[in-house]
Amino acid sequence: MNSTKLQLKSQFLEEVSPLSHFEVVFDQLPGISFFAKNINFEIISANRAFWERLNCRSESDVIGKTDFDLFPDQLARKFREDDEIVLMTGRPKLKIIELFFNRQGLPDWYFTNKFPVFGRDGSVIGVTGTVQSYSGRRSALTPHLQLDRAVSYIREHFHEPVNMTELAKRTGMSVRQFNRRFREVFGTNPRTFLIKTRVQAACEELRSGDKPISDIALDYGFCDQSSFTQHFRAHMGVTPLKYRRGS
C-alpha cells in the first residue's frame, strides 16, 4: 500500500469516534462470533453471537471476564496459550481448530482466527478474533464440499481405525489431491486432524473417569498406550497421566 493510501486510512481512523463500534458488523454475519481482549486477557468487546453462545443476556455480562471465568479449565488453558503467542509475537494465529464435544459424545469443530491489537505506540495491547463453527462455515466452503464427506466420517468414526486412502476415496479425490485440499481448508493434514480429534476426546475421558489409560488408548483408535502417550504429549504438552492428575 503506497503512502498516500496509508495516510488516507490513518486519517479516517483518527477521526473515528470512540462511540463507533465496528464489531456490530459481525452481528450481521451468521454463525460468526467476534471477541476482543486486553493485555490482561479480559474481554473488552464481543458481538451478540459470542455472548449468546454462552447463555448471557448482554455484552456487559462478559466484559471484564477471562476465558477461565467462561469456559472449562481445559479449554481456557488452550485459549490462553494461543492468546499468549499472539501477544508475544505480534503475529496472527490463523485456522486454529477447536473441538467441543456434544452430549452425544460427537465432536463439533470450531475455527478460530486471532490477531494482535496494536496501540498508538506500536506495542501489542490485546487480541481480537473470530470463531466460526464448521457447520456454519460449510456455506463458505462450496468449492470444497467434497471434504464434508471425509469430515463427517471422521466425526462419527474417529475412535475406530481410519484408513486415509479409503477416506480420500469417499471424497472422489486422489490421496495427494485430498491432502492438499484438506490443508487448504483446515490448515492441517487429515491425519493430524484425526489424531487431534482423538486426543481431545481422550481429554474428556481422562478428566471424567478412572478408566485405565491403556484402555482409553485403544478405545480412541490408538494402537497402544505408547502411541497414545506420544501423540498426547505432542498435542497437549504433558503425558496422559500428568493431564489426569491436573499437572
Residue-wise pLDDT for 213-228, tens only, equals 999 999 999 999 999 9
Sheet holding 107-118, edge to edge: 43-46, 32-38, 124-133, 107-118, 93-101
Q: Which residues contact 105 (CB under 8 A, 6 or more apart)?
A: 201
pTM, entire model: 0.69
Q: Cell 490463523, residue?
A: 94
Name the residue range of residue 69's domain. 15-136
Is there a domain that residue 9 lies in?
Answer: no
120 and 179 assigned to the same domain:
no
pLDDT at 139 over 60: no
19 and 132 assigned to the same domain:
yes
100 and 213 assigned to the same domain:
no
The per-residue pLDDT for 192 is 92
Q: What is the mean pLDDT of residues 224-235?
A: 92
Count: domains in the chain: 2
- Cα gap 215→231, rounded to integer Å: 16
Q: Higher model confidence: residue 217 or residue 54?
A: 217
DSSP codes, 151-200: HHHHHHHTTS---HHHHHHHHTS-HHHHHHHHHHHHSS-HHHHHHHHHHH
Q: What is the pLDDT of residues 183-211, one digit of tens each?
A: 888 888 999 999 988 998 888 788 877 89
Is there a domain that residue 3 lies in?
Answer: no
